Amino acid sequence: MNSKALLRYPFFKPQQSAAKNVWYFPKIEYLLRLIKNALLKLLVLVALLMINTPVGAQKTDKVFLKNGDVVTGEIKNLKFAKLTVDMTGPGIIHIKWEEILRLKSTKLFQVTMRRGEVLVEYLDSVFYEKYHASLNDIVEIIQMKDQFLQRLDGNVNLGFNYANSSDIFQLNFGSSITYRKPKVETSLTINSVVSSKSIDSSISKKQDISIGHLQSIKNNFYVQSNLGWQQNTQLGLQNRFSLNGVGGKIIFNDNQHRLLTGAGLSFNLEESKQSVVYKKTVEALATIQFKKFHYTTPKISLDALYTIYPNITQWGRIRMDFQLNTRYEIFKDFNMGLSFYDLYDNRPPTNTASKNDFGINFTLGYEFGK
């Protein structure tokens, strides 16, 4: 979209710079700075508040094991065939789902069933009779806590690489925080990969920030919206501000695997490295996500996400985004991992920019609220 077309929108009030025929949009740039700064401050605030999260729940839940033992404590969650229980004395323990005979609790849980239903119920005898359910029908349990901070979980990952032969130093940072309510998830995600080459003082950046809201509906369907910002100097992208909506279905969901698909639209404002003009684009999108968890020793997780963006307003332009993350737990709540990304744009915002950007990073991470 050129500067004349943008004049039709009241918010876009361009100003002309000293250079002839060059227009820029101070309100858009100011808005982007405000959003990025606010999201960064929110992440720091939540991280500080997590330190003072109160713990005072009664540990009276019962876990009946197949060997006849009964474990008493606070049921925290069930994720990927691993039940997490907080006991008085030993603290947090993990029990394999196949070793459990029955659960009993007076607390409220969000329960995801194998057939796709998302229920908010108490785990008592009435629950099993009401839904004619057995433990094999349950794939996920999340305790619905009353306090805001207790509904948060997330992770922080940090890594770096240095190659003496090429004199390149790379720093990568990633973090995500999720807030859960019955059938609803709101998440904040931040990723940054910065590479520096001291021989010519050049810096390459791949950064993104996004806020997502997911609503579960019947029969394994869901709807999701995302507001995000991206930067990738390798692809000639200075700023991309996007708002997208997705509808999709969970193809299968069991204690060790998940496969999700979805499709929707994305509305973008793009600024290239060589121009101060923001271009408006509309894209279709299709996405597929696969997760696999192995919680017997060693504990390993794999998360793959692929998204394709056929452009509607710039017909023939296609973007693709592939992310692959693996984690290996080294001790409680701490892990190491490898992350791989591959980004492709057959018509990057800057004509001289590369069409492809990919990388592999080693990370050390910490999980909280799980």
Given a cut of 60, whether residue 2 has pLDDT beyond it is no
Could you please report the per-residue DSSP string of 182-220? TTEEEEEEEEEEEEEETTTTEEEEEEEEEEEEEEE-STT
CA–CA dist 91, 124 (Å, integer): 24
Contact status, residue 324 vs residue 337, Cβ threshold 8 Å: no
Q: Which domains does the chain have, with CATH numbers?
A: 61-146 (no CATH), 151-368 (2.40.160.40)
Question: To the nearest whole number, what is the mean pLDDT of the chain?
Answer: 80
More confident residue, 321 or 133: 321
| Residue 26 confidence class, pLDDT cut points 50, 70, 90 | low
CA–CA dist 12, 34 (Å, integer): 17
Residues 10-20 as b/e (b if ≥16 CB within 10 A, e otherwise) read: eebebeeeeee
CA–CA dist 210, 103 (Å, integer): 37
Side-chain-side CA neighbours of residue 330 (13 Å): 8
Provide mean pLDDT across the span 166-178: 82
What are the tokens at 326? 């693996």
| Residue 5 confidence class, pLDDT cut points 50, 70, 90 | very low
Read off the pTM: 0.69
pLDDT in tens, 85-111: 888 878 888 888 888 888 888 888 888
CB within 8 A of 354, min separation 6: which ones?
234, 235, 236, 348
pLDDT in tens, 179-193: 877 778 899 999 998
User: Which pLDDT does position 29 carry in this prediction?
Assistant: 58
Provide mean pLDDT across the span 274-288: 91
Given a cut of 60, whether residue 227 has pLDDT beyond it is yes
The amino acid occupying position 347 is R
What are the tokens at 107? 């607390």
User: Which pLDDT does position 149 carry in this prediction?
Assistant: 62
CA–CA dist 70, 87 (Å, integer): 12
Peptide bond into 26 cis (omega under 30): no
